[in-house]
Amino acid sequence: MICDDIKDILKGDYLDGELSVQEREFVARHLAQCAACRVFEKNLQAQRRVFQQAVHKKPPVQVWSNIQTAIEKEQIVQKRSVRERLISLVEMLFAPRPILALGSAFAIVFLVVTLTIGLRPRQQQASHAENLTNLVSYDVGMENSDFVSDLGTNIEKFLL
Amino acid sequence: MNDIALETLERAAKGDIAAFEEVYKAASPFVYNVALRITCHDEDAQEVTQDVFMKIYHNLKDFRFASAFKTWVYRIAVNMAINHYRKHAKEKQSRVHNEYILDSTPSDSSTDEKALQGDCEAQLNALLNVLTPEHRACLVLREIEGLNYQQMATTLKIPVNTVRSRLKRARQSLWEKAGKEPKNDL
């Protein structure tokens, strides 16, 4: 039973150096007496060495090149997309659109028709009023002057 | 992983590629090695490294510096490597034992040294292949990268006791697979 406990400690805190001094001494005393646990401990240490001897590799140069290229592409796409969004906004505002054009045409026609119909009676009334004024002034002029008789007479007098 | 100046991180977050290259130089050896040990394949490790750094690039502007940058990078690297391994596990099963990684080693060592190194790599690979990705991650962080229990717990977002038990189970698995554990316990 004690070997199970010792093995459990060996696999964990013992190997990772997390034991207190007393615990470590206790394990060391057991290892000195128990051949099987010594073998177990040796094997654990051997496996551990395989990991610790692993070579730290540098990533190949192309990895950074790929990352750099990807980032630069993204930055170009981002810049382009901002510019394109602005351009498309401007285009959207000024682009001729069939529905808008048709609507505008109808609106203009409606406006012209409405204004034409609305203005016509006023023009007629105005011209009628002008006629009346002219007629009245003509009549008054006729009354105040002897234009008809004078016309011939004065000329005749002058000529004579 | 070397410490990176806050100013460098801020410049990198604003899209400065030169600053981001500094971040890459400091963090890439860790990221690449963790990815290499978890995926057990050089090309996959390169792919994971690229993905990790693209993720860092995209998320750096939102990184609030509440946690250490190192821990953040460790976590992204481990998670992405495990996810990548799981995604490609089936198609890789056939090639894992045959292909392994010496090409990318920047080394001017002699042929004997290379052979020795190849043996070590083969041994390590054989051990890693016994383990689940989570157990691999634990052993790699502890034995190769030298993180302590607390750092591992923060990186993997698990309690310290879970770290302890995962390490024990990983070592137990290695022992059992090696066939050196006597069937009748002592």
pLDDT at B186 over 50: no
Instruction: Report the range of poorest mean pLDDT among A23-32, A92-101, B177-186.
Output: B177-186
Q: How many CA atoms lie within 13 A of B10 on its CB side?
A: 3
pLDDT of residue A126: 62
Whether A91 and A107 share a structural domain? no
- Which residue among A47, A52, A55 places its CB closest to the CB of B105? A55
A104 Rama sector, left if φ>0, alpha if ψ -120 to 50, beta otherwise: alpha
Quick: pLDDT tens for A28-53: 999 999 999 999 999 999 999 999 98
pLDDT at A119 over 90: no
Range of the domain at A127: 97-160
3-state secondary structure of B3: coil
Quick: pLDDT tens for B18-36: 999 999 999 999 999 999 9
Whether A72 and A36 share a structural domain? no
pLDDT at A75 over 60: yes
pLDDT at B3 over 80: no
Euclidean distance between CA atoms B155 and B132, whole angstroms: 18
* Nearest CA distance, B68 vs chain A (angstrom): 23
- Which residue among A13, A48, A59 places its CB closest to the CB of B49? A59
Asked if the Cβ–Cβ distance from A44 to B171 is below 8 Å, we say: yes
Please count the structural domains in chain A. 3
Whether A77 and A136 share a structural domain? no
Euclidean distance between CA atoms B74 and A101, whole angstroms: 60
Q: What share of chain B is helix, strand, coil (3-state, %, to 5)?
A: 70, 0, 30
Contact B170, B122 (CB under 8 A): no
pLDDT at B162 over 80: yes
pTM as predicted? 0.68
Whether A106 and A159 share a structural domain? yes
Judged by CB atoms within 8 Å, which residues 75-134 of A form the interface with B?
75
pLDDT of residue A80: 78
Contact A7, A40 (CB under 8 A): yes
Range of the domain at B82: 6-177
pLDDT at B183 over 50: no
Asked if the Cβ–Cβ distance from B106 to A56 is below 8 Å, we say: no
Whether A82 and A105 share a structural domain? no
Instruction: Report the range of poorest mean pLDDT among A13-17, A105-109, B57-61, B116-120.
Output: B116-120
**In three state form, how does the secondary structure of B105-122 look?**
CCCCCCHHHHHHHHHHHH
Whether A84 and A102 share a structural domain? no
* Nearest CA distance, B145 vs chain A (angstrom): 9
pLDDT at A143 over 60: no
Please count the structural domains in chain B. 1
Mean pLDDT of A70-91: 82
